[in-house]
Amino acid sequence: MQSDNGKGKPVKPQLQRRLTAAVQTAAMILLIACQPDMPAEVRSGLVYCLEGAPESFNPQLVTSGTTIDATSRQLYDRLVDIDPEDGSFVPALATHWEVRPDGLSYTFFLRPDVQFHSTDYFQPSRPLNSTDVRFSFERVMKRDHPFHAVSGGEYPYFQTVEWQQRVARITTPTADQVVFYLQQRDSSFLSNIATDFAVIHSAEYGKQLLEQQQPQRIDSHPIGTGPFKFKEYRKDIFLRYYRHADYWGQASSLEQLVFNIEPNNAKRMAKLLTHECDITAYPRIAELELISKRDDVKVQEQTSMNGGF
């Protein structure tokens, strides 16, 4: 059994990429344009120069690191997270969990009073409960789920780890408990639960979309429990999020988070140096030495938790 320390340890937002079937670099390099000192209430937003447009707003459907970087940690939460400092599993939407002695079931105990996003297209009537967790994972594993075939019905990460062969069924004995029954002992189960792909959606929102006969909007107009909520997307131009005021964890100091979509590396760099963007990632190595000498740019480098081939 694992649990938090009773203080509801918040998730630390990380720009990390999980294991994907894509060629990726071994390190995450961020370039941060240094801004003049201003009061926090003035610097109320942040602009991130993103190298491409998101393929979807549902991380379950993609392997693209660009999409994951722009959606998973901002819009959604997972049952469990990974502490980037030591790689241990830490509570997120689940405050703690129990594993049966034979290793064939995991019971997760959900954090109370976790609020979903309230937007102009959805107003939740209740906080997160176990039906939302079951809804989110059964969409992936059950072909007769009303949302399984929506947006193509492909869940590449879960198919790669053979999720349907690993998990036998999911039950919800109470509103704050969800139980995963496994086909056999699985030492990677918690790791899969903690990936950026294993996000939790709102079952209530799903029901509303079915009644409106617009199920595809669950992947284009997202609802999650994460620190930011979806506001606006102009295809291939920009993406805007607003702060989720009722976030269960440590609230962001930013009122807005904007992704400026710019595939051209030279143009991204120009926007950073002219302060049109506050942050960008993945500069060319040839540019790094020159950039590092500038007083108005801060370089951060971190080994990422991924595998590439």
Q: Domains, the chain, ranges and CATH?
A: 2-303 (3.90.76.10)
CB–CB of 280/31 below 8 Å?
yes
pLDDT, tens only, 155-165: 999 999 999 99
Helix/strand/coil for 254: coil
Asked if pLDDT for residue 4 goes beyond 90, the answer is no
Instruction: Give the torsion sign (CA, 115, 174, 201, 185).
Output: positive
- pLDDT of 37 reads 42
- pLDDT of 234 reads 97
- 200 or 3, which is more confident? 200
- pLDDT of 301 reads 78
pLDDT, tens only, 74-115: 999 999 999 988 889 999 999 999 999 999 999 999 999 999
- pLDDT of 34 reads 52
Q: What integer is the mean pLDDT of 172-199?
A: 97
Asked if pLDDT for residue 21 goes beyond 50, the answer is no
Question: What's the rounded Cα separation, in Å, for the pair 17 and 262?
Answer: 20
The pLDDT > 90 percentage for the chain reads: 72
pLDDT, tens only, 117-143: 999 999 999 999 999 999 999 999 999
Instruction: Indicate the pLDDT class of residue 282, thresholds 50, 70 and 90.
Output: confident
Q: What integer is the mean pLDDT of 9-18?
A: 34
Q: What integer is the mean pLDDT of 182-197?
A: 97
Instruction: Indicate the pLDDT class of residue 309, thresholds 50, 70 and 90.
Output: low
- pLDDT of 40 reads 41
CB–CB of 225/111 below 8 Å?
no
pLDDT, tens only, 55-80: 999 999 999 999 999 999 999 999 99
The pLDDT > 70 percentage for the chain reads: 84
CB–CB of 203/51 below 8 Å?
no
What does pTM read for this prediction? 0.84
Helix/strand/coil for 259: strand
Query: Which among 207, 92, 95 has a CA at the least distance from the CA of 145?
Result: 207
Instruction: Give the chain's mean pLDDT.
Output: 86
- pLDDT of 205 reads 98
- pLDDT of 286 reads 79
pLDDT, tens only, 230-273: 999 999 999 999 999 999 999 999 999 999 999 999 899 899 88
CB–CB of 69/49 below 8 Å?
no
Sequence-distant (6+) residues with CB within 8 A of 53 are 66, 235, 236, 261
pLDDT, tens only, 26-61: 344 455 555 444 334 335 899 999 999 999 999 999
Asked if pLDDT for residue 306 goes beyond 70, the answer is no
Cα 60 to Cα 63, 132, 294, distances in angstroms: 8, 15, 39
Question: What's the rounded Cα separation, in Å, for the pair 95 and 76?
Answer: 16
